[in-house]
């Protein structure tokens, strides 16, 4: 009996997802369009993202997204309690996302420059941020100049990069093509192409020619 209830519930949820998915797609595209973002054909959104894109000081496009961009939001990601994807671009920021990029319950915060190459896959809960958000000087954090003294530096992620779940990529980082980053890593420095890094702070595990058994267990999206 319990099996029948489980199967019936699963069937109902699947039918519901099939029915509402086109609406999610339409609403996500409208959110990007209304925020002056440009995206290529094939954009696919499971659930509704949180999009906050400033129009900036000029009329230039602050956010460009390539072809076949896929994002999973909320319960369409890992669990029902999962957060939505957040795409935030400040008025001085420029966000560039390549073709066939996939993210799940991820956060992208751009105050200056974030570039994501083609075929990048980012697992659940990945955070990509190009700023410290607050001043590093403790005295400045108490005053009105706190945000004005924050430090920002461009983030660049190359092509075909695999970013494991729960990873944080911080300001000033450049990640080379075909690199792999283990789950729950904190990336504070640049990663050469084709290498495997993991840890807090992230360190080189080995080159990209083979993956150790420990990394096979830790890498997941």
Residue 58 · residue 92 · CB < 8 Å? no
Q: What is the pTM of this model?
A: 0.82
Nearest CA-CA partner of 121 in 49, 71, 171: 71
Q: Of the residues 24, 59, 127, 134, which is catalytic?
A: 134
| Model pLDDT for residues 184-201, shown as the tens digit of each residue | 999 999 999 999 999 999
Residues of the chain with pLDDT under 70: 1-21, 56-59, 79-81, 135, 139-140, 146, 148-149, 208-221
* Residues shown for the chain: 221
Confirm if 40 and 67 have CB atoms less than 8 A apart.
Answer: yes
CB 136 within 8 A of CB 120: no
Integer Cα distance of 35 and 70 in angstroms: 18
Task: Please give the Cα distance from 99 to 17 (Å, whole number).
Answer: 25
DSSP state of 130: S
**177 near 137, Cβ under 8 Å?**
no
Q: Provide the 3-class DSSP secondary structure of residue 97.
A: strand
Cα–Cα distance measured from residue 110 to residue 95, given in angstroms and rounded to the nearest whole number: 6
Q: Is 134 a catalytic residue?
A: yes
């Amino acid at each position: 009996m319990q099996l029948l209830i489980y199967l019936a519930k699963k069937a109902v949820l699947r039918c519901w997802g099939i029915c509402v998915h086109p609406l999610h797609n339409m609403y996500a595209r409208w959110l990007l369009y209304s925020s002056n973002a440009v995206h290529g054909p094939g954009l696919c959104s499971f659930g509704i993202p949180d999009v906050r894109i400033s129009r900036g000081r000029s009329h230039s496009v602050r956010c460009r997204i390539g072809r076949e961009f896929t994002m999973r939001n909320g319960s369409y990601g890992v669990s029902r309690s999962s957060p939505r994807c957040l795409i935030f671009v400040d008025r001085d920021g420029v966000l560039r996302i390549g073709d066939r990029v996939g993210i799940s319950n991820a956060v992208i915060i751009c105050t200056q420059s974030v570039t994501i190459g083609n075929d990048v896959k980012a697992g659940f809960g990945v955070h990509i941020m190009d700023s410290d958000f607050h001043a590093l000087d403790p005295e400045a954090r108490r005053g009105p100049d706190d945000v004005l003294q924050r430090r920002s530096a461009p983030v660049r992620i190359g092509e075909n990069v695999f970013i494991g779940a729960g990873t944080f990529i911080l300001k000033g980082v450049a990640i080379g093509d075909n690199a792999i980053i283990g789950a729950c890593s904190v990336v504070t420095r640049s990663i050469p192409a084709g290498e495997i890094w993991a840890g807090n702070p992230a360190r080189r595990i080995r080159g990209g020619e083979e993956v150790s058994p420990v990394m096979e267990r830790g890498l997941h999206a």
